[in-house]
Structure 1
Amino acid sequence: MWRSIASNALTLFIVILIGMAALVAWGRNEFFAAGPLQQPICLEVERGASLSAVSRTLEQRGAISDARIFRIGAEYADLAGDLKFGSYKLPAGASMAQVLEAITTSGRSTCGRDLNFRIGVTRADVVLSELDLATNSYAEVVRFDAGATPLPPEYLEVSDDPALTLRITVAEGVTSWQIVDALKKADFLQGALETVPPEGSLAPGGYEVERGTQRAAVIASMTAKQAAILAAAWEARAPDLPYDTPQEALIMASIIEKETGVPEERGRVASVFVNRLRQGMRLQTDPTVIYGITRGEGVLGRGLRQSELRRETPYNTYVINGLPPTPIANPGAEAIRAAVNPDKTDYLFFVADGTGGHAFAATLEEHNRNVAAWRKIEAAQGATEEGGVQGE
């Protein structure tokens, strides 16, 4: 009899094990299989939200089939405590595993509203956009000047939304004074900025911040990023450059940045200035003269006068030899790389060609022909600035 009882118990135990294995397999399949969502949705995870609350919301909105399986999967993956607040796009058919990854991994909102505080060379503005789930693209809601009063009602309606993504975007070629002046107008930042960082020391690009971030912390991030970019570029520099320090390379990069907005031209523009330095020629570049007048505090807003081209200042490369004493703007990474790895050319001159780019020349004769061609375009367009470098 005892043998029969033991046999039945063993059989029952095996059946239970098989059932548990089948249950685990089913749960695993549910966790990794395509989910029930028919259309993409935006899921908002509030700051401090619990996994239980989020899983119930997901089940109620039809994003997952079973909140319990979702919680068990999160616990098993050791991600139950890693929820990141924000607004996340969940695509149609997203599995529980994909949903869990979306709300625990990056912490960067991928849905909802986006506020981009843009600092440009001529102005700073704010663009509020909202994700259109149907097209998977952000549609602009409102755009306004930084520091505008009164603030647009569209912005005031969402300004306190904790899921609002806040970004600061700095264009290449903006000066340090312009960055500081603009950041003072960002109402989502805190803290004073007492000094203007050294010219060239701030990296252009995008920075995602939280409401209440200290302005000094934003500047520190920009400074650290630029220092890293410059150090890496200097380490990989070409041999026999006509400058000896990373700071001199940064000065050259800022000139390159201000001379061309065409990415493909940076290496050629760099080669012109490098060739001139090697031959003992003056750089003769207008942006340095302009910086000597404005000191980076805004734009000149007019063409240079002949008297200004002749006036001796530390930044007038028509009258000084070599590089100016400091950068004249904050160059981007590509301009820095061009400064330390210029194209190999025999060019000594360049001038605007009417297309937004430049015509390059190795001889003064060729350059004069390019200038004559530009003068005809200039007269037709009513332009007043030549751009490029002068002949001697």
Structure 2
Amino acid sequence: MTTTPDAEIGRSTEPSKPIVPKSASEALRPEAGTPPPRRSRASRNQFVVFLNFLLSIIVLVVLAGGAAVYFGKREFEGRGPTMVDQTFLVKPNTGVQDIADQLERRGLISDSRIFRLGVRAYGNDSALKAGEYEIKAGASMHEVMELLKSGKSVMYSLTIPEGLTVEQAFERIAHHEALSGDMPAAQPAEGSLATDTQRFTRGATRQSIIDKMLAHQKQMVDDIWARRAPDLPLADINEFVTLASIVEKETGRADERPRVAAVFLNRLKKKMRLQSDPTIIYGLFGGKGRPADRPIYQSDIDKPTAYNTYQINGLPPTPIANPGRAALEAVANPSQTDELYFVADGTGGHVFAKTLDEHNQNVARWRAVQKKQAEEAAKAAAEGGQSEVQAQ
């Protein structure tokens, strides 16, 4: 038995390939399956540091922004600096920045920038309205924003009581500090102004208030005149308002007005003179009114004027004051009575009579009351003087 001399255990029997030398460039290329060379440790550390720095900056910015929002919102919602209620005027076409600056200068908010940003955050940049507002003590910036957004301005009022003349009403309008603009050059007719309360915001013009009062009075007079009783001895609407103004000046008691109106209407039907004291006063003093300490003298009663109903027949040429609704209603629909006289009773009201004899008795009682009142007043004044002397 023979053996192959080249056969060895574990050795390949394939012929070996010749070795071809590589070029220099091929020698530098990595062979397939060989992993790329790793970056150096120093290069890898610099990249990680940069990423960490960038992440830290982002986190800080987010935290700072969150803190700013938190503290800004707390300041926006927190109690304001003002210790008392104050009014604040926003003029038309004023921007949020100007409003914020004015609020801060007035001490109504603590920080104009926070207020401005808060208004913007709520989307109210163009929602703040002109007007005058009452800002309560301690109001937060959020509450101030909502108030200015609501447009609920401070409302002022002007009251013209029943029985004032046009001249007296004009004086009140002219001196109201919340109104603006000039008064009209000429006054309207006596009795043509509504005797009620007008409400308005600061800056409303005096002319606009007067126009409203004229319109309201005309509408009311026309409505009541249209519903009048059919047998009134009044020629026209001017006579209607004139008599209502006399009733207005004669009594301030609502329950008496229809009765007083009936007395005057009964006298007109009988061609009797009205003999109303307020007409004497208007004839003497006009729209200015009688001074408070000026009594009516017998010479005043005897003095003829166009308004003195002790001296003229029928009604005066114009009203003597601005009558209210109750007086107008009383004349349009008076009480059904035959009474022709009335006189004060000393309690703020009047006592009525159908005959002159009964009326004279009522007058005598009234004069007795006046005498007693005068004696009591003189006694009180004397006792007051003695007390002052003793005190000295």
TM range (shorter): 0.5 to 0.7
1:367 aligns with 2:359: yes
Contact kept? 1:88, 1:103, Cα under 8 Å: no
**Corresponding residue number in structure 2 for 1:348:** 340
SS at match of 2:260: helix
**Corresponding residue number in structure 2 for 1:298:** 289
The one of 329, 346, 371 aligned to 1:337: 329
Structure with higher helix content: 2
**Corresponding residue number in structure 2 for 1:176:** 166
The one of 256, 261, 275 aligned to 1:265: 256
Q: 1:58-85 CA distances to partner (integer Å, 9 max, x unpaired)? A: xxxxxxxxx99xx89x9xxxxx969684
CA distance in 2, matches of 1:104, 1:334: 41
Quickly say closer, same or farther: Cα 1:329–1:104, change in 2 above 3 A: farther
* Structure 2 unaligned spans of 5+: 1-84, 100-117, 137-145, 376-392
* Structure 1 unaligned spans of 5+: 1-40, 54-66, 75-79, 91-99, 111-164, 384-392
SS at match of 1:382: helix
CA distance in 2, matches of 1:357, 1:206: 26
**Corresponding residue number in structure 2 for 1:251:** 242
The one of 191, 195, 200 aligned to 1:204: 195
Count of aligned pairs between the two proteins: 282
SS at match of 1:273: helix
1:327 aligns with 2:319: yes
Shift of 1:224: 0.9
The structure having more radius of gyration, on CA atoms, is 2
CA distance in 2, matches of 1:181, 1:175: 10
CA distance in 2, matches of 1:89, 1:342: 50
CA distance in 1, matches of 2:132, 2:260: 44
Quickly say closer, same or farther: Cα 1:252–1:108, change in 2 above 3 A: farther
SS at match of 2:199: strand
Shift of 1:245: 1.2
Contact kept? 1:84, 1:105, Cα under 8 Å: no
CA RMSD for the aligned pairs?
Answer: 4.2
SS at match of 2:209: helix
Quickly say closer, same or farther: Cα 1:103–1:273, change in 2 above 3 A: farther
Shift of 1:206: 0.9
Q: 1:269-319 CA distances to partner (integer Å, 9 max, x unpaired)? A: 101101111111110001001100001223244222222212222111112
Structure with higher strand content: 1
1:192 aligns with 2:183: yes
**Corresponding residue number in structure 2 for 1:34:** none
CA distance in 1, matches of 2:190, 2:87: 42
Q: 1:161-214 CA distances to partner (integer Å, 9 max, x unpaired)? A: xxxx3x211111111111223333334432133222211011111112333333
SS at match of 1:359: strand
CA distance in 1, matches of 2:342, 2:309: 15
Quickly say closer, same or farther: Cα 1:285–1:105, change in 2 above 3 A: farther
Q: Which moved more, 1:208-217 or 1:239-248?
A: 208-217
Q: 1:115-174 CA distances to partner (integer Å, 9 max, x unpaired)? A: xxxxxxxxxxxxxxxxxxxxxxxxxxxxxxxxxxxxxxxxxxxxxxxxxx3x21111111
CA distance in 2, matches of 1:105, 1:325: 50
Q: Which moved more, 1:285-294 or 1:330-339?
A: 330-339
SS at match of 1:201: coil
CA distance in 2, matches of 1:199, 1:248: 12
**Corresponding residue number in structure 2 for 1:240:** 231
SS at match of 2:256: helix
SS at match of 2:287: coil
CA distance in 1, matches of 2:238, 2:152: 36
Contact kept? 2:248, 2:323, Cα under 8 Å: yes
CA distance in 2, matches of 1:289, 1:336: 21
